[in-house]
Amino acid sequence: MGNLLDRMEPLLAAMPAVKSPEGHVHFKNKLLWTLGILILYFVLTNITVFGLAPANQDLFAAWRALLAGASGSIVHLGIGPIVTASIVLQLLKGADILHIDTSETRGQVMYMGLQKILILVMIVIEAAPNLVGGFMTPDPVIASQFFGGNLFAVSILIFLQICLGGLLVVMMDEVVTKWGIGSGVGLFIIAGISQALISGFINWAKVTDQYPVGFFPRLIAIGIDGGNYMTYFGTEMLAFITTIAIFLVIVYVESTRIEIPLAHAQIRGARARFPVKLIYASVLPMILVMVLLANIQMVGMFLSNVNITIFGTFENGVPVNGIMYYLAPINGPSDWMWWMKDLGHAPWEVLLRLGINMTIMVVGGAVFALFWIKTAGLDSKDVARQIQMSGMSIPGYRRNPQVLEKYLDRYIPRVTIIGGVFIGVLSVIANLFGVIGGVSGTGLLLTVSITYRLYEEIASQQIMEMYPFMRTFFGKE
């Protein structure tokens, strides 16, 4: 693998990339870049793919909020290709198949170049089934007006537009990462799920009955009309309680941490603390778990659409039997409360699906968390080197990277696994009871946690503007 990467180095180094800032980017400029990309993202979600027939089936319907795309728009794929490519790299690096030292400049260039190639491959792989599987059908009217009735030409045009949208998302993510605050992936997830949550709370549209679908409008309308809350409110109140509970739990857990004392080797009295949070690897590993499940379901749906039903069949985008049914995530009470309504499956089948889902979420959360800290430079070795370069050390211990690494090994790997398991369990609980807005419990959990981290990032950026010497410690320069 190493020899292959060495031969590919010229190609990896030549991959297109957003230019990195040569010096420090002022906090206000970072805010402007972030806001600009956010506005551009919302603009792109409202640009419909040209040549698409009005009635189409969305391959990503069940994962739309998590993938941060808009059905039928130019950004139809959302962050799917980026996260899927990250999963492949995480698995290769975690299994020690991919040997790239990302602490060196050469290693970083090679890693980013390899990631770009994988993302391009994933864009094509995820865009093609939408056309081949009959999910995004070309409009015969457009075909007759512009292409002489050639539907294949319209299909190619749709494919190219989706690929272009995927590339735009990649570049926007890179702009935010290098010039803005946080990451584009996290920003787009916040934008998509927040939009769904706001709609879930205050939407006045009437869809299924005479009352609005939004939580508060529905609550008020039923009260004014004197209707029966038990009849027209269903599980909305349970979803509302779950939404509030997840928000409070995540905010509390994000502030739970182990603080390792540090002292400066040359400046007497200069002390600091290195925080090892309970959710040390953040919630991004859970995105990897969910997108991995989404890709499995999308493959199953595509095969079902082309009449290959060995893995199960789908009805309206939902698996109804086969292995795909058991691998499908739980997205609310209607997926497992068999005593409230007929689910079309025996209780033991529902319980087996619950058990498989819990195992995947919990074990996957822990495994991907370990892979993530290794790839993102958050493991004991990289943190020890970062502390050493800042001039800090742990009081009572020799100022040596190996000593620091051994000390950090007491905390970082254990806390990472505990945090990954905790997030997995919390995701399962949130998914079991559902949340407001039709987004999955995992989606809400991700949004709250990413928003909290973004708030902390903004606070640290402001501190570094006030005290420039702290940029070296945080690795910002």
Give CA–CA dist 363/367, Å, rounded. Answer: 6
Report if residue 218 sits inside a domain: no
- Same-domain check for residues 391 and 449: yes
- Same-domain check for residues 461 and 392: yes
For residue 446, what pLDDT band results from cuts at 50, 70 and 90? Answer: confident
Give the pLDDT score at 1: 56
Token couple for 112: 């980013």
Q: What is the pLDDT of residues 280-302, one digit of tens each?
A: 888 878 888 888 888 888 888 88
CATH of the domain at 364: 1.10.3370.10
Report if residue 314 sits inside a domain: yes
As a whole number, mean pLDDT of residues 45-72 equals 82
Q: What is the pLDDT of residues 153-210, one digit of tens each?
A: 998 999 999 999 999 999 999 999 999 988 888 899 898 888 888 888 988 888 777 8
Report if residue 195 sits inside a domain: no
- Give which of 180, 397, 419, 170 is closest to 283, Cα–Cα: 419
Give CA–CA dist 367/374, Å, rounded. Answer: 11
Where helices occur in 328-379 by DSSP H, the ranges are: 347-375
Q: What is the pLDDT of residues 270-282, one digit of tens each?
A: 677 788 888 888 8
Report if residue 329 sits inside a domain: yes
Report if residue 209 sits inside a domain: no
Distance from CA of residue 297 to its chain's centroid? 17
Is the predicted pLDDT of residue 476 greater than 60, yes or no?
A: no
- Same-domain check for residues 51 and 156: yes
- Same-domain check for residues 166 and 284: no
Contacts of 411 (CB under 8 A, 6+ apart): 258, 260, 276
Give the pLDDT score at 378: 82
- Same-domain check for residues 277 and 352: yes
Give CA–CA dist 412/419, Å, rounded. Answer: 10
- Same-domain check for residues 162 and 300: no
**Global confidence as pTM:** 0.82
- Determine phi and psi for 393, rounding to 5 degrees: -155, 165
- Same-domain check for residues 115 and 258: no
- Higher-confidence position of 399 and 288: 288
- Same-domain check for residues 182 and 245: no
- Higher-confidence position of 129 and 96: 129
Give the pLDDT score at 467: 61
- Give which of 394, 402, 387, 384 is closest to 260, Cα–Cα: 394
- Same-domain check for residues 399 and 300: yes
Of 34-43, 85-94, 315-324, give the lowest mean pLDDT range: 85-94
Number of domains in the chain: 2
Token couple for 428: 């399962």
Report if residue 229 sits inside a domain: no
- Same-domain check for residues 173 and 278: no
As a whole number, mean pLDDT of residues 74-103 equals 80
Report if residue 15 sits inside a domain: no
Phi-psi region at 354: left, alpha or beta (left = phi > 0; alpha = psi -120 to 50): alpha
Q: What is the pLDDT of residues 308-356, one digit of tens each?
A: 889 999 887 788 899 999 998 888 888 888 887 888 889 999 999 999 9
Report if residue 277 sits inside a domain: yes
As a whole number, mean pLDDT of residues 406-431 equals 90
- Same-domain check for residues 381 and 283: yes
- Higher-confidence position of 109 and 411: 411
- Same-domain check for residues 131 and 256: no
- Give which of 11, 377, 36 is closest to 175, Cα–Cα: 36
As a whole number, mean pLDDT of residues 48-52 equals 90
Could you count the other beta carbons within 10 Å of the beta carbon of residue 282?
23
Which residue segment(s) compose the domain that 462 sits in?
235-477
As a whole number, mean pLDDT of residues 392-406 equals 80
